[in-house]
Amino acid sequence: MRELRKVGLLLRDEEQVYPLDGMRAIFAERGIATVLLDPEDEGPADLDLVVAMGGDGTVLRALDLFHRCPVLAINFGTVGFLTAGDSKDLEQIVGRVMEGEFIVSERLVLNCNYPDGSLRAINEVSLRTISHLSYIDVFVNDTKIRTIVGDGVVVGTPTGSTAFMLSTGAPIVMPDVRCMVLDGINEYNFSSRALILTPDSRVRLHVSPETRGRDIWLIVDGRQVRRLEPEQEIHIEQAPFTAKLIYLEQNFFFRNLSSKLSW
């Protein structure tokens, strides 16, 4: 990571009390400028670090908006699996980062192209139904591999393997592994299994005309994006850049599995 000159501060919401004055003072002592970021705007292009204060949703927002620079996540939320530490240790965490006592974890990011737009995903992209069974044709590198019948399909990253994909029974994947994970959601098939794909795979999910109703939703990192009609499809592939998260120790992943997910 390059020398710190300007740091962005991203907050979970305006209702919670954050130690902004203390944070600004810590950085100011080192001659480092700080700027409060708008969660709906990409902010200045010359940021060297973003400090995200909130839960995992805030972290995902920071990684999406500010993918050019590393993100230091401090947990002000509930679980905070992606964070480097809790709010009570904020000053200690920031101090260690400024002393260079940290590692940068680079994460695979997905690009999702849908009928009228595109989005990036840090965790997962899914097609989900609300009521009727969905029939989703799955193509990998232009070859149809199967039709998944159930509540939908999810394509996730190693980072996403500890998020929504936990509920599908997909494997937990270490974040430095480069792969995608494809799985059905409540699939109507006892023999179904998650599929591990190479990171350069191109995935196409096509809503089969066998699908009844109009309640198939495209959901990206937990955000409802739009409905899809039968015969519409989405395309998913690896983004040309990685997301960068800062941690204080090498074993952060297994520590968080134990402390946050009771694994």
Closest CA to 55 of 34, 76, 69: 76
- 226 within 8 A of 138, measured Cβ to Cβ: no
- Rounded to 10 deg, the angle between the 20-28 and 90-98 helix axes is 20
Catalytic annotation present for 56 = yes
Closest CA to 26 of 83, 75, 90, 110: 90
Q: One of 13, 56, 200, 215 is an active-site residue; which one?
A: 56
Cα–Cα–Cα angle for 193, 243, 63, rounded to 5 degrees: 105
How far apart CA 170 and CA 176 sit, in angstroms, is: 17
In the block, residue with structure tokens 């305006």? 14
Q: Which residues are catalytically annotated?
A: 56
